[in-house]
Structure 1
């Protein structure tokens, strides 16, 4: 049975980072995000920092559910219409989706490494500096 989706009102403020909003049928959707977030007390950035391969979180295998299942399921769709009155979404980010309707095989992956550096021995001259400092990557 072909199904129709009717959405009366949808308000989304932000969709980013490999995300999607789908009203209706989607088939075989892949989304992928990798993020390296570095926060420092003083904005110092090294020329050669930020390689994903330096952090194991970006190379580990993600466990997946087996393709087959021992569960028998019968679905009876008595109506061919999906009706949604209102959807309010503040943000959809990091390989996620807002889905209204049929979904067939979504593979969504987001890997985020957050690093916080607080410099305790900064030079006096930099205590009030608000710009960005770029240094050679330490050996």
Structure 2
């Protein structure tokens, strides 16, 4: 891996959260992970046993990786071995995001989110209000 030196005069980062990485310096492999269940309900109702990721296949299915079998021939010329930046201002880095100043060999980021919307049913066949929750 060709080494270059990164020089940043100032950096301001407000928030790094949910499996994200803020790396200053060189690294070989970065592998951030994030899992989230996002449940939206019409009114507040909480059960103590919610949040079982294994109940949803999206969290256990393997993500297919592309097979790259073509050769790319290119030449690059770096006039300088320095990367110079005056100012970086970041509001947020979230959900397996990577903010990296330096060199790295590989980054393998993964974020999995299951959105569930639970709405009240309007009424039953007799026109009476039904306040039970239904899940999509």
TM bracket, shorter-chain basis: 0.7 to 0.9
Q: Return the TM-score normalized by structure 2.
A: 0.78
1:114 counterpart SS class: strand
**Residues 25-104 of structure 1 mapped to structure 2, 5 A cutoff:** 25-66=26-67, 69-104=70-105
User: Is the 1:18–1:94 contact (alpha carbons within 8 Å) kept by the matching residues of 2?
Assistant: yes
Classify 1:89/1:67 alpha carbon distance in 2 versus 1 (closer, same or farther; 3 Å): same
Q: Deviations over 1:54-103 (max 9, x none)?
A: 11211222122336641123333331211111111111000011123322
Aligned mates of 1:2, 1:81 — CA distance in 2: 9
1:90 counterpart SS class: strand
2:43 counterpart SS class: coil
Classify 1:76/1:66 alpha carbon distance in 2 versus 1 (closer, same or farther; 3 Å): farther
Q: Deviations over 1:35-54 (max 9, x none)?
A: 11112122212232221121
Aligned mates of 2:7, 2:69 — CA distance in 1: 32
Point out 4+ residue stretches in structure 1 off by more than 6 angstroms.
none
Residue 122 (structure 1) aligned with residue 131 (structure 2): yes
Q: Return the TM-score normalized by structure 1.
A: 0.76
State the aligned residue count: 123
Unaligned stretches of 5+ residues in structure 2: 122-129
CA RMSD between the two structures:
2.1
Unaligned stretches of 5+ residues in structure 1: 124-139
User: Is the 2:24–2:101 contact (alpha carbons within 8 Å) kept by the matching residues of 1?
Assistant: yes
Aligned mates of 1:13, 1:65 — CA distance in 2: 34
Classify 1:54/1:108 alpha carbon distance in 2 versus 1 (closer, same or farther; 3 Å): same
